[in-house]
Amino acid sequence: EIVLTQSPGTLSLSPGERATLSCRASQSVSSNYLAWYQQKPGQAPRLLIYGASSRATGIPDRFSGSGSGTDFTLTISRLEPEDFAVYYCQQYGTSPYTFGQGTNLEIK
């Protein structure tokens, strides 16, 4: 099983700042099938990034993904108030499909 470790666990920033979230895999992610999801309280996860760096439909360009192999990053260039939420990475290349434990992005 591929274990995904996200860091930091909690990130405290202010609107307008840049956020950098990390996701490290215990082994190489097949075909860089790495996704990022945003989840707000009481809501389902929302796909942001797939294939490590492709933005999903309707996702603002302040969200970007990068990385390959075992190290991946989600960057939010300028935080908007609606961006404060929990973010999960997921590898969907190898079963069992696993998620990271999440990064809680909170308002400072």
Which residues from 85-104 bind other proteins, rule CB under 8 A? 88, 90, 92, 95-102
Residue type, 2: I
Q: How many CB atoms lie within 10 A of CB 85?
A: 18
Positions in 58-87 near other proteins (CB under 8 A):
none
Which element (helix H / strand E) includes 90? strand 86-91
**Residues that contact other proteins, how many (by CB under 8 A):** 27
Among 15-23, 44-52, 68-76, 77-85, the segment contacting other proteins (CB under 8 A): 44-52
To other proteins, the closest distance from the beta carbon of 14 in angstroms equals: 26
Gap between the Cα atoms of 89 and 102, Å rounded = 7
* Binding flag, residue 28, other proteins (CB under 8 A): no
List alpha helices for the chain, DSSP H.
none
> What is the maximum alpha-carbon separation in the chain?
38
- Contacts with other proteins by CB under 8 A lie at 31, 33, 35, 37, 39, 43-47, 49-51, 54, 56-57, 88, 90, 92, 95-102
